[in-house]
Copies of this chain bind each other. A is one copy, B any other.
């Protein structure tokens, strides 16, 4: 007894990540109850974003300009490229304000199971960028998951032939973390990489 238009809307909302059929219904109802304040502005923002946002040809970030604002910046350090899996990781690192080099978004991780090879990611493009003489360091900032670490090792191997140092993020106790609640792997890594006070 739900109208076709509402059902179609619920189906589309249900395809968003993290939303099941029940939350999709809840979101659809919330939208229909807030038409002027939320539903129409959202439709407009979706159309606008789909229209103006493009992938950066250099780092594969998304932005309204080509190349993106980060790649177009002249005050950043051309010597460092930070390799990340996804644009969300770029946003997370940018938010810390503690990295002033350039980025390279892979667009995923290698996965033999899903048939994702180096050519499906932007790895060949990364190697090409790393061959630039100005680049001195590549930080491989991939997730500390099995797929992420496999990809990190593969990239480090490929970069051997380029004249760059390859680094990775430090493993250890998260700021604010409680030792009692940490997993064995993190604690072992933190012990191995202990530092003088």
**A-side interface mostly:** helix
A5 to B, closest residue via Cβ? B49
A28 to B, closest residue via Cβ? B49
Docked pose: A106 CA to B44 CA in angstroms? 31
Indicate whether A6 reaches chain B with its CB closer than 8 angstroms: yes
Indicate whether A12 reaches chain B with its CB closer than 8 angstroms: yes
Residue in contact with A1 in the complex, picked from B31, B45, B46, B69, CB distance below 8 Å? B69
B residues less than 8 Å from A70 (CB atoms): 1
Docked pose: A49 CA to B10 CA in angstroms? 11
Size of the chain A interface, CB-CB below 8 angstroms: 52
What 1/0 mask marks residues of chain A from 95 to 126 whose CB sits below 8 Å from any chain B CB? 00000000000000000000000000000000
CB atoms of B49 and A9 under 8 A apart: yes
Indicate whether A29 reaches chain B with its CB closer than 8 angstroms: yes
Return A81 CB to nearest CB of chain B, in Å: 16
A22 to B, closest residue via Cβ? B88
